[in-house]
Amino acid sequence: MIDIWNQIKENHKDWNVYLYGNGNNELREKFQQRINELNLKNNFHLLPSIENNKLLEIMSKSKIYALTSYSECFPVIILEAMSKGMVVISYDCPNGPRNIIDNNTNGILVQNGEKVLFAKELDKLINDENKQKFIRENALIDIENFSKKAIMEKWFLLVNNL
């Protein structure tokens, strides 16, 4: 995400990026060093992990969630972000995001590992309030497919058909 943001930072000086987590100290120091090298320290923030309810509160005040993992299983964080009205942009990494995101309908999928393309798509998304609104509205509808009620109905159907 650091390298991606560096590509578009000049276009979005009024935006801030927040990266939460308690990775090992060596990795955290490498991240901070890279942020300093690229002169991103004014709007790219490394923060420690926080309680889930606090994170959800922050998410409800945020616009875009960028998932830059090269590999995911089933990223619940995408569902959480969508439920809080965030527009999700993610690498189309194996298995996870493509099972939730319908590209350009309820989120954005970018070819896995393509940092330049991810930066271009993020830049376009930030600049297009109408697209954000369209994706956000669809995501808030589609998130219902993952509600407890919807999942339980699928389980009951599966069990009853055995």
How much is the pTM? 0.90
Domain housing 129: 2-160
Residue 47 backbone dihedrals phi, psi, to 5 degrees = -130, 150
Q: For 94-108, write each residue's pLDDT tens digit.
A: 888 999 999 999 999
Produce one character per residue of 89-101: b if its CB has 16 or more CB atoms within 10 Å, e if not: bbbbbeebbbebb
Residue range 8-42, pLDDT digits in tens: 999 999 999 999 988 888 999 999 999 999 999 99
Q: What is the CATH number of the domain that holds 130?
A: 3.40.50.2000
Instruction: Give the total number of structural domains in the chain.
Output: 1
